[in-house]
Amino acid sequence: MSQPTLHILLVCMGNICRSPTAEGVLRAKVAQAGLGGRVMIDSAGTHNYHPGSPPDERSQEHALRRGYDLSKLRARQISEADYEKFDLILAMDWDNLALLQGDCPPEHAHKLKLFMSFADAAEQLGEVVPDPYHGGKAGFEQVLDLVEAASDGLVRKLRDRWENYRLSD
């Protein structure tokens, strides 16, 4: 029996800093865990500020220093179809989660969560990934730290999910 595919969408406001960083990091960590063929990852923004634009240069620069190439990613706004297509829709902060909740059809509301809810040390790290756009270098490094922590926690949950799936066959 083939194993199911999970579709994950990461969401911030403009889709040029936090969510593309999260997309790049999560893709790398999923691939490292050997789950690349089972998890499809994308990102979007709640606002259509930068359609078709690459991630912020600062996001790309800081991510590349840690081995994550974001250069091929392009910004887009979340669409109605995304609520149906994706199994998990993970917001970077409370404001974007609230916007998603306001637009999401009720039958898909269970898919919406904060990305940081997957970080093992969320209580120490915080509940949200703060927007680094108007800040300095430290903000982009903090985003990477938080996104790596949430990605590691999510990958552990995914590995457990598929391990249990194999055992139940």
Catalytic residue among 12, 42, 82, 104: 12
Helix (H, G, I), strand (E, B) or coil at 64: helix
- What separation in angstroms does the CA of 45 have from each of 41, 72, 76? 14, 16, 6
Catalytic residue among 42, 93, 131, 152: 131
- Shortest CA distance to 92 belongs to which of 53, 51, 142? 142
Helix (H, G, I), strand (E, B) or coil at 142: helix
Q: Is there a catalytic annotation at residue 12?
A: yes
- Shortest CA distance to 7 belongs to which of 34, 40, 37, 33? 40
Q: Is there a catalytic annotation at residue 131?
A: yes
Angle between helices 18-32 and 57-65 (to 10 degrees): 30
- Nearest-angstrom CA–CA distance, 161 and 158: 5
Catalytic residue among 17, 18, 104, 152: 18
Q: What are the residue numbers of the active site?
A: 12, 18, 131
